[in-house]
Amino acid sequence: QLSTSFYDRTCPMLPGIVRSVMAQAVFQDRRMGASILRLFFHDCFVNGCDASVLLDDTRTFTGEKNANGNTNSLRGFEVIDAIKTLVEAACNATVSCADILALAARDGVVLLGGPTWLVPLGRRDARTASIFAANANLPLASSSLSDLISLFAGKGLDARDLTALSGAHTIGQAQCVNFRPHIYGDLNIDPGFAALRRQTCPAFGGDGNLAPLDLQTPVSFDNRYYQNLVAGRGLLHSDQELFNGGSQDSLVRLYNSSTLAFFTDFAAAMVKMGNISPLTGWPGEIRLSCRKVN
């Protein structure tokens, strides 16, 4: 059972440390708010929010960092390391990397103008990680709406959570390799938008070329993502699936017309995602370095 006051006595400086390092990191690179948010999502979807995603490969296991979708894509590990170093200096062997990630993700959203929420804490860190688990549990840009709904349902998240959480794509960037099939192959896309994206994402080559997930405000956490979907300007196939004549159209329209509705549902869904099978006793540990088991 997680609690928002878990470290109140044992590490009162924790929230301030996380906030100041995140403020510094986002000031230097506004994309970092997005990158840390994605790290938290990719942690929680693979064996729960247990910082498994932060583990480097070892002789005994190949971890999640090189899984499909993570390799050459996840970023921000050094920001988590910087937070962890300061937290260890302030309160040795007390705060889990999983909780640091949960707080940092929230702060990244807030720093870019999004909603805030209280973060339940008390998670422990995994002592192993598996590339296979990551490959099996993370969504792909090619996913259909029904794939996405069932993947999220498997984590205890409903379709409303899926549509609200996908609003995370109001910030951050994607590589050409991930949106090429949508801009060349799909019909449910605004032609002008497809032409614009093709300019920097050729049919062959340029796999790593970046484009903003939200073409309007890539470093503001707002509801423009949903406005894009209604206009046929979702960047990924999976984004546009949320507004393609299906069950989520009306919710996309609601979030497009109400920032408050989006922010309220996003914050609630983030807490729900943060509760995916939290590790609370053995075999969890309080890792001293987020990159390796003790």
Q: Which of 178, 217, 244, 275 binds ligand HEM (CB under 6 A)?
A: 178
Distance (Å, whole) CA 82 – CA 104: 11
Q: 66 vs 220, which CB is nearer to Ca ion? A: 220
Q: Should residue 170 be labelled a site residue for Ca ion when binding is judged by CB under 5 A?
A: yes
Burial class of residue 259, CB neighbours in 10 A (0-12, 13-18, 19+)? middle
Give which of ligand HEM, Ca ion, none residue 52 binds (C-beta under 5 to 8 Å, depending on kind): Ca ion
Is residue 140 at the binding interface for ligand HEM, with CB under 6 A as the rule? Answer: yes
Of the candidates 5, 50, 40, 62, the one whose C-alpha atom is nearest the C-alpha of residue 285 is 50
Which of ligand HEM, Ca ion, none interacts with 209 (beta carbon under 5 to 8 A by kind)?
none
Q: Is 49 in the site for ligand HEM (CB under 6 A)?
A: no
Of 204 and 282, the one with the shorter C-beta distance to Ca ion is 282
- The answer to whether residue 169 is catalytic is no
CA distance 77 to 237: 27
- Asked whether 73 and 52 are in contact (CB, 8 A), the reply is no
The CA-based angle 192-225-254, given to 5 degrees, is 115
Among 95, 131, 189, 236, binds ligand HEM (CB under 6 A): 236
Listed residue (254, 273, 270, 250) closest to 262, CA to CA: 254
Beta carbon nearer to ligand HEM, 14 or 164: 164
Report whether 192 contacts 215 (CB < 8 A). no
Span interacting with Ca ion, options 46-54, 150-158, 183-191, 264-272, rule CB under 5 A: 46-54
Q: Does 139 bind ligand HEM (CB under 6 A)?
A: yes
DSSP state of 143: -
Q: Does 128 bind Ca ion (CB under 5 A)?
A: no
Return the active site residues: 42
Contacts with Ca ion by CB under 5 A lie at 43, 46-47, 50, 52, 170, 214, 217, 220, 222, 224
